[in-house]
Structure 1
Amino acid sequence: MNIEDFKNTLNSDAPPLHFSDLQQGLWYAAKGDWDAAHNIAQEHEGSKDFDHLHAHLHRVEGDEWNAGYWYRRAGVQIPAKPVTEELNDLIILWS
């Protein structure tokens, strides 16, 4: 799936059934449903990919300290790009 295909799914009320938990978290993040995306990230705490998603979500929230904590746990540098570009990168990476 490419980013355009992923973004086309955002017209639906729920993520596609075949989406992995990580893709569902991204889907909710892309829909602006921070709470649903955050719940998914928290359910999988300790997985580097989900910790990366968790970091991104706290960056979106504006909580830089908490985001930094989760980026460190994920082993990822805090991106020097807007959160919208980071989300696109994550969609490409995990789709």
Structure 2
Amino acid sequence: MKTLTEFKASLNSAQPVSGLSAQLKSLWYDGKGDWHQAHAQVDHLNDLASAWVHAYLHRKEGDIWNADYWYGKAKQIRPNISLEQEWEQLVLQFL
């Protein structure tokens, strides 16, 4: 899978395609509307990429304090864009 369009099309499947990174699998579940499963993919990981996705998920949840904590762990700044735009940017970052 190489494009955002292909990634979005995969959301029509019942399961994520094999071989996705934890970050992309998290974003896939989020794209399917399963926040808890998305969170479970990155919650236990300590790398910068997972922290960035983790931050986005807490921003989406509305827990801005927690989101900002994870943005800091990811060495990122909370963006001033829509959640949809951030989701797309993250998918493109990790494809």
What is the TM-score of this pair, normalised by structure 2? Answer: 0.95
4+ residue runs over 2 A deviation: none
In the alignment, the residues of structure 2 paired with residue 18 and residue 38 of structure 1 have an alpha-carbon distance, to the nearest angstrom, of 18
In the alignment, the residues of structure 1 paired with residue 55 and residue 90 of structure 2 have an alpha-carbon distance, to the nearest angstrom, of 12
| Deviation at residue 32 of structure 1 after TM alignment | 1.2
In the alignment, the residues of structure 2 paired with residue 7 and residue 32 of structure 1 have an alpha-carbon distance, to the nearest angstrom, of 13
For the pair 1:90 / 2:90, whether they are aligned, the reply is yes
* % identity of equivalent residues: 36
| Larger helix proportion of the pair | 1
With 20-29 and 80-89 compared, the bigger mean Cα shift is at 20-29
For the pair 1:11 / 2:12, whether they are aligned, the reply is yes
Alignment size in residue pairs: 94
For the pair 1:59 / 2:66, whether they are aligned, the reply is no
Q: Which runs of 5+ in 2 are unaligned?
A: none
What is the TM-score of this pair, normalised by structure 1? Answer: 0.95
Amino acid at match of 2:8: K
Q: Which runs of 5+ in 1 are unaligned?
A: none
